[in-house]
């Protein structure tokens, strides 16, 4: 399952199965230490999940591709073993 860290390492459950065959791309943004996931599906739909609902400032830290079927990118195993929101970028 896709779990996101906020700046204080609290986990937010998204309910997204990382191995769903309909997912074609997942990108992760880090804003003020909070992870935001953008999940793109084969039908063109995009879902966004944010680990925070009370961010005071929007400092852009980074963005990376977690999974991309077309470009053969798969960092899911790394992602599942990260220690915080800054580990992979």
Q: Using one digit for the tens of pLDDT, what is the confidence trace for 36-67?
A: 999 999 999 999 999 998 888 889 999 999 99
Q: How far apart are the first and last CA of the chain?
A: 20
67 and 18 in contact (C-beta within 8 Å)? yes
State residue 88's pLDDT score. 77
d(CA 55, CA 38) in angstroms, rounded, equals: 18
Listed in sequence order, the DSSP H helices in 1-89 are: 76-80
Nearest-CA neighbor of 2 among 15, 10, 45, 11?
15
Distance, C-alpha 41 to centroid of its chain: 14
Lowest mean pLDDT among 21-25, 73-77, 82-86: 82-86
pTM of the model: 0.92
Residue 26 in tokens = 């997942």
**Interacting residues of 37 by C-beta distance below 8 A, sequence separation 6+:** 2, 4, 14, 16, 26, 27, 28, 48, 49, 66
């Amino acid at each position: 399952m896709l779990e996101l860290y906020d700046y204080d390492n609290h986990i937010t459950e998204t309910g997204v199965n990382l191995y769903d065959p309909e997912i074609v791309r997942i990108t992760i943004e880090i804003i003020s230490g909070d992870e935001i996931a953008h999940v793109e599906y084969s039908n063109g739909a995009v879902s966004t999940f944010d680990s925070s609902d009370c961010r005071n400032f929007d400092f852009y830290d980074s963005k990376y591709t977690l999974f991309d079927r077309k470009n053969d990118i798969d960092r899911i195993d790394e992602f599942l073993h990260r220690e915080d929101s800054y580990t992979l970028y």
